[in-house]
Amino acid sequence: MALTKCKLGAYIELHGETNASLIFGSDDVRGVNNLKLLMPTKADINGRDLSKFQIVYPGEFVFNHRTSRNGSKFSIAYNDGEKAVICTEDYVVFRIKEDAKQVLAAEWLYMFFNRSEFDRYVITNSWGSSTEFYNWEDLCEVELDLPPFPVQQKYVNIYKSMVANQKSYERGLEDLKLACDGYIEELRREMPREAIGKYLIQKNDRNTEKNITNVVGLSTKKEFREAQSRVNRNELGNYKIVKPDEIAFVPTTDTWKVLAFAQNTCGHAVVVSPIYEVFCVDKNAVLPEYLAMWLSRKEFDRYARFYSWGSARENFSFEDMCNVQIPIPDIKIQKAIAEIFTVYIARKRINEQLKAQIKDICPILIKGSMEES
């Protein structure tokens, strides 16, 4: 069995069907991130004409042709779910041609896209001045060394088996989240709430000795992440120290429409941007894990956005945080609930690792399918 040299354009076609009948609503809108996944959109779609949005059916691909300011990656995703979603008209939606479905497997193509080599290829071949693009015509010119379909399918089956295991683990994860939410809802109904300000201590410890080099940022997933590359790691003296169990948050809320925060659970101190707020809690009254549960809720994101203020930028300050009211049960009850939440966070981290492993194995599976041919 030999590889077939071809251009991708021979096997794919545009499919820009619009949501003209408005069958799909705002809950069905998805964006595409540089991890090559469909995600709930971060864009403000209030007032947007959803009839112009494009439908992405199961088995179809969608990509953002803008490649600048995207982490040197190409944002393309594959709808491997059971339901159609919609995306902005600025994206490009395509599918494998009907008569090519026994020649090119969609999941094999998705694995092909999920390689750093392909990201580098796209960035190198993008064009533009202030904004760079990689368009449909460019994608069609991609050259493939295509293995025979049975070989593709063999490696696709390995990939799908790994994804199925990860999805199964993720479903168990959601059960834990539901348990946490259930306890929180019960407390919200049955206990009076009080302002948490008297239990919070604002921190402003600076890294003046520059002995902490582990600088981190905050993500919308309510966790610390690797700091952006533009951070000068030689100039961290003014950065704020976040000690174990302390909580940091980004006061600005209008960028992501959520309150980005994280509790330091890594066991050692880290440093964050001086614009972040950092605080600890009186553990005799409130456990940091219990408070983190409340701050992790979507309801709290809506609360923080509602009470944010400003003109050019909207902010949720430390004083605003002090005014937050929550039920504060006995420490033993907090601990019992927090233990479930801690398990949830740990398993959530494992789930992210599983996703990363699946992504990392894509180049290996593509290489294996080519070598077998």
Of 266, 217, 219, 275, residue with least CA distance to 246? 266
Neighbours of 318 (CB within 10 A): 15
Dist. CA 131–CA 72, nearest whole Å: 13
Dist. CA 113–CA 122, nearest whole Å: 10
The model's pLDDT over 107-149, given as tens digits with 9 standing for 90+, comes to 999 999 999 999 999 999 999 878 899 999 999 999 999 999 9
Q: What's the average model confidence in pLDDT over 87-94?
A: 96
With beta carbons less than 8 A apart as the criterion, state whether 32 and 62 touch: yes
Of 13, 22, 337, 352, residue with least CA distance to 182? 337
The DSSP 8-state label assigned to residue 52 in this structure reads G
Q: Band of the pLDDT at 89, cuts 50, 70, 90?
A: very high
Task: Say yes or no to pLDDT of 47 above 90.
Answer: no
Gyration radius (Cα) of the chain, Å: 24
The DSSP 8-state label assigned to residue 148 in this structure reads P
Dist. CA 253–CA 306, nearest whole Å: 10
Position with higher pLDDT, 254 vs 138: 138
Task: Say yes or no to pLDDT of 228 above 80.
Answer: no
User: Does the pTM exceed 0.85?
Assistant: no
Q: What amino acid is encoded at 131 in this protein? A: T
Q: What's the average model confidence in pLDDT over 280-305?
A: 94
Dist. CA 18–CA 22, nearest whole Å: 9
With beta carbons less than 8 A apart as the criterion, state whether 301 and 259 touch: yes
Tokens representing 165 are 């295991």
Bridge partners for 63 per DSSP:
76, 92
Dist. CA 259–CA 303, nearest whole Å: 9
The model's pLDDT over 154-180, given as tens digits with 9 standing for 90+, comes to 999 999 999 999 999 998 888 888 888
Cβ contacts of 302 within 8 Å, gap of 6 or more: none
Of 128, 118, 136, residue with least CA distance to 68? 128
Neighbours of 322 (CB within 10 A): 15
Task: Say yes or no to pLDDT of 256 above 80.
Answer: no
Q: Band of the pLDDT at 227, cuts 50, 70, 90?
A: confident
Dist. CA 139–CA 240, nearest whole Å: 45
The model's pLDDT over 64-85, given as tens digits with 9 standing for 90+, comes to 999 988 878 999 999 999 999 9
Q: Band of the pLDDT at 254, cuts 50, 70, 90?
A: confident
| Residue 158: predicted pLDDT | 96
Dist. CA 272–CA 248, nearest whole Å: 8
Locate CATH 3.90.220.20 in the chain.
Answer: 4-146, 192-328
Q: Band of the pLDDT at 1, cuts 50, 70, 90?
A: low
Residues of the chain with pLDDT > 70, as a percent, come to 99
Write down the CATH superfamily of domain 4-146: DNA methylase specificity domains (3.90.220.20)
Q: What's the average model confidence in pLDDT over 297-306?
A: 91
In terms of average pLDDT, the best of 94-103, 258-267, 294-303, 331-340 is 94-103
Dist. CA 301–CA 292, nearest whole Å: 12
The answer to whether domain 192-328 has CATH 1.10.3720.10 is no
Q: What's the average model confidence in pLDDT over 305-326?
A: 91
Task: Say yes or no to pLDDT of 229 above 70.
Answer: no
